[in-house]
Amino acid sequence: MFQEQKLYSLQFLFDGTQISLEELNQKTKGTLNQHLQDIEIKIEPVHSSFLLLTIKGSLEVVDVSHDLIDKSLINISKLRFKRILDEAGDEIRLRAYPILAEIEQHFRVFISQSLTEVCGFDWWDNLAPADIRSKVLSICDKHQEDGTSLDPLECTQFDDLIAIITAEVSEWSEDKSFSVNDFMELLSNCDSISELKNSLKEKMKKFSFWNIFSRFFEDIKEWERTKKSMNFVINVRHKVMHHRPIRLGVIQALLNKKIEILALLDSAKSELSEQELAKAQEDVKDIQKTVSAQSNSQMQPQLSEDSLFRSSQLAAQLLAQLAKINESSISRSLELAKQFSNNSFLESSQLAAQYSRISPFETPQMATQLAKINESSISRSLELAKQFSNNSLLESSQLAAQYSRISPFETPQMATQLAKINESSLLKTSQLQPQLAQIDAIIKQTRKQNLQLQAQIDAIIEPFRKPRF
């Protein structure tokens, strides 16, 4: 019984302000001239300024037409477009998916068995790249809602599977931002230029997971050639999983790559000899050591321009706060000193004025007593004012010095350090409060003494205020 051939549609939406319906029709037919008898072409206006091009035919013909439209019409004419419908592409992606899934599963089994033999069941936690572990953990959490236990590799995407196999690690990458700290670290361990070069070379030495997996194969060169095949598979997978345009010829090429890759994986040794296992474990130690050093190095990353800008802003804010604290402290010191001094002078001068009314013949010791009280008050006032002012300036300068020792090259935690300095500044300011209270107490005590002296003077001069007969 004759089975009717399935037809596939391809649709593009073009900008009608860039090309007219007649011109688009002419260019489309000119581009697909050799296939006009095998396809249907329809162009119709949509809304007021769009043109919808529809091509319908067999899978093979629509696939070729798609390629020609892309290369000879859209790219050359620089037309603005939207790909609306690609039924041929959907069919091709549907055929490619099971091939990709088979390749992916073979890789997953090979990686799991190989690394478990070399590193044990904990290989994932000890060896898998940190960024992949983080990504996989998120996927596992989303897919364990039904209580099913999942191995991390079962949640690892194909790109990441290949990344585990082909990953290369070094303590310092070639594009590393070289800081002053890095330079000082090198110099501290080197006594000559030769040693410096060797140290730098060692830090940039690359260790590859590929070395571990290659020990499972007799033909190392064949394993190396498989790298190129895996890159092709990854590219096709992106087109399939992200609904990107894909050509029919990719299916056959993908089948060929599958045969090549699976043949290689099937030829892997079921287990390593003791000598091979020992060498593979040495490779693992090198990788673990490098990853650990790399992680420690990343704990003090080079500040980006944005980070430096934010740090400088925080620094400016801190300096402004220090200035305000210092200014406030000095202002308060001078205010209290002035208040204390004025009060002392005022009260002493009042006492002196009262004393002047006392007969010099009856109170020969009063002048000496007043002078001592006045001198003591003024001396104490100036001493406290000077002490308070010096303490304020000293503590503020110590804070400023503390901040000045912070180097922008060595402070990835700049915000935390600035916060600590700020906190210290506020603490030291609060510690000045007892000194303020002490000055206030002395002022009160001086006033009390002056009042007592006032009473004594009043008692002395009282007889002289009565009129004499």
Do 314 and 293 fall into the same domain? no
Say if residue 289 is in the same domain as residue 408: no
pLDDT at 183: 65
In a domain, 87, yes or no: no
**Whole-angstrom distance, CA of residue 406 vs CA of residue 420:** 12
Distance of CA 111 to the CA centre of its chain: 31
Same domain, 230 and 345: no
Q: Are residues 130 and 232 in the same domain?
A: yes
- Of 1 and 264, the structure prediction assigns the larger pLDDT to 264
pTM as predicted? 0.57
Q: Please compute the mean of the pLDDT values over residues 66-90 and round it to a whole number.
A: 94
Beta-strand pair 207-208/81-86:
unpaired
Scanning the structure block, which residue is given the tokens 């210290």?
424
The tokens for 273 are: 């000899």
Nearest to 161 by CA among 186, 132, 182: 132
Does residue 88 belong to any structural domain of this protein?
Answer: no
Task: State mean pLDDT over 379-397.
Answer: 54
The single-letter DSSP state of residue 301 is: P
Asked whether residue 179 is assigned to any structural domain, the reply reads: no
Residue 374 shares a structural domain with residue 283 = no
Per-residue pLDDT of 132-163, as tens digits, reads 888 998 888 887 767 778 889 999 988 888 88
**pLDDT confidence tier of residue 307, bands split at 50, 70 and 90:** very low
Cα–Cα–Cα angle for 346, 347, 349, rounded to 5 degrees: 65
Mean pLDDT throughout 265-280?
90
Domain boundary among 264, 298, 332: 298
Residues 401 and 335 reside in one and the same domain: yes
Q: Looking at the domain assignment, is residue 198 inside a domain?
A: no
Element counts in the chain: helices (H) and strands (E): 17, 6
Does a structural domain hold residue 22?
yes
For the chain, the 3-state helix, strand and coil shares in percent, each to the nearest 5, are 70, 5, 20
The answer, yes or no, to whether residue 44 has pLDDT greater than 90, is yes
User: What percent of the chain is predicted at pLDDT more than 90?
Assistant: 33
Enclosing domain of residue 147: 94-170+206-298
CB 280 within 8 A of CB 215: yes
408 by DSSP, 3-state: which? coil
Taking the C-alpha atoms of residue 283 and residue 277, their distance in angstroms, rounded to an integer, is 10
Side-chain-facing half-sphere of 444: CA atoms under 13 Å: 6
Q: How many CA atoms lie within 13 A of 160 on its CB side?
A: 18
Rounded to whole angstroms, what are the CA distances from 8 to 21, 95, 240, 391? 23, 15, 18, 88
- Residue 449 CA to residue 436 CA, distance in Å, equals 20
311 and 290, same domain (yes or no): no
Which of 240, 272, 298 finishes a domain?
298
Q: What percent of the chain has pLDDT over 70?
A: 61
Shared domain for 408 and 377, answered yes or no, is: yes
Tell me the range of 63-72, 154-163, 222-231, 353-362 where mean pLDDT is highest: 63-72
- CA distances 218 to 60, 258, 270, Å, are 41, 20, 12
The Cα 214–Cα 435 span in angstroms is 76
Q: Specify whether 315 is located in the same domain as 410.
A: yes
405: number of Cβ within 10 Å: 7
Pair 324, 408 in one domain: yes
The last residue of a domain, from among 234, 263, 298: 298
* 54 found inside a domain: yes
Residue 424 lies inside a defined structural domain of this protein: yes
Residue 428 resides in a domain: yes
Query: Rounded mean pLDDT of 211-238?
Result: 84
Domain total for the chain?
3
Is residue 229 located within the same domain as residue 371?
Answer: no
| For residue 411, pLDDT beyond 50 | no
- Within this chain, do residues 267 and 315 fall inside the same structural domain, yes or no? no
